Each structure stands twice: as structure tokens, then as C-alpha cells.
Amino acid sequence: MSADSASTNLTNHFLIAMPGLQDDLFAQSVVYLCEHSARGALGLVINKPCEISLKNLFDKIDLPLARDDLAQALVFFGGPVQTERGFVLHEATFAQDAQPSHPVYSSTMAIPGGLEMTTSRDVLEAMATGAGPRKVMVSLGYSAWGEGQLEDELGDNSWLTVPADPRLIFDTPVPERYPQALKLLGLEAWMLASDAGHA
């Protein structure tokens, strides 16, 4: 692997699993990378729904859900780390009197390029009252890679990468997210042999 590819920052990119990736957790997955640095990477799988709706999740944490647009929304399996915790991926939100880069919620990671990920309960409380960000995806757990681990997997051709398109997360039906992510690269699943080399 060349030195310049090792320093590539894939924050705000999609990782698209190659057909040869047989890991049960990540096969056919699309991961939105919230953070990528020399220390490692953190992301959320955006196309693997759990067997629970957002309304069920809110019931479990004793909050009403006063958002009809979200009542039937699914909760996603974000990855195998901290699966008991909720991670809310959402469009950028700003307090009306705040500085442009000041998040509204108490524990929010602003992702360079647009989206935010919030782990504090206050974003769920805002959604419970009918407020909160308009476009959201709630997941349980997240995906993480240690130092150099993702680079090794990229070198092994386990993943394709492409700059993220928020419409894939918020507006695309779940079964279409994997093929649509490939289309961002001009690819179709049939073009990728399960033992494919570089695409």
C-alpha cells in the first residue's frame, strides 16, 4: 500500500463491502464513516435495520414519540460496539443564537462535510416533543477500527470507498442502499466478482 493512501482521510465517506467480505456483521453493508484519523475510524452501518421501530425504542426509554414522520422508522444496527447505546445520525442543527458550528445537543460530533452524530438523550427528548432534526437515522451500536486496521482492510480489497451522499441515508429505501452506494462509483453488484481485485 502506498504511503499517500495510508494518509487518506475517509471521514464523511461510505465504506461499501466488497462481495468477498464474508463477515456476518459486515457482508453487503454500507458504513457511513463519522471519523477517520491516524488513530482509527468510527462509523455507522446504514443498511442493516434491527427488529425494532423507533416508536418501540422510544417506548422502552419512556419517551413519547410525537413525530408521525418517524413512528414507523426503523432502528439500525450501527455496528458491534456498544450495542446497548443509541447513536443518532442527523442533519446539522444549529441553535438560533449559537455560533454556526456550535451543536445544539450536549454530546454531538460534527462531521466535516455536513452531518452530525449525537449520543446524548437530549436529541431524543427533542424528537419526543415533535422537534429535533428533521432527517435522522437512529442506530444501536457503532463500528470501529483501531489504528491502521481500516487501512489494512482497504489494502485487502474488503471495502470500496466513495464520498457520502446524505440522500442515501435519509431518503433511499433500505434494500436499495447497497446497490445505490455502488452506483455512486458507477458500479453494479454483478460487476464485482466475489474474489475481485481493485475495482
CA 50 to chain centre: 14
Residue 167 confidence (pLDDT) above 90: yes
pLDDT for 43: 98
The pLDDT assigned to 95 comes to: 53
pLDDT band at 97 (very low <50, low <70, confident <90, very high): very low
What confidence category does residue 104 fall into, taking pLDDT thresholds of 50, 70 and 90? confident
Q: Classify residue 197: in a domain, yes or no.
A: no
For the chain, the domain total comes to 1
Asked if residue 198 is part of any domain, the answer here is: no
Supply the range of the domain harboring residue 169. Answer: 3-191
> Does residue 2 register a pLDDT over 80?
no
Is 59 domain-assigned? yes
**pLDDT, tens digit (0-9, with 9 covering 90-100), for 25-84:** 999 999 999 999 999 999 999 999 999 999 999 999 999 998 989 988 999 999 999 999
Whether 199 is in a domain gets the answer no
Model confidence at 158, pLDDT cuts 50, 70, 90, reads very high
Q: Pseudo-torsion of CA 136, 142, 147, 153, nearest 10°?
A: -90
Rounded distance between C-alpha atoms, residue 37 and residue 153, angstroms: 15
Q: Quick one: cell of 159?
A: 471495502
Residue 100 covered by a domain: yes
Asked if residue 196 is part of any domain, the answer here is no
* Backbone region of residue 160 per phi and psi (left: phi > 0; alpha: psi in -120 to 50; beta: other values): beta
- Evaluate whether residue 160 is within a structural domain: yes
Q: What pLDDT is attached to residue 8?
A: 84
Instruction: Tell the burial category of 7 from Cβ atoms under 10 Å away from its Cβ (0-12, 13-18, 19+).
Output: exposed
Q: Residue 108: which CATH number?
A: 3.40.1740.10
Handedness of CA 4, 6, 10, 11 (dihedral sign): negative
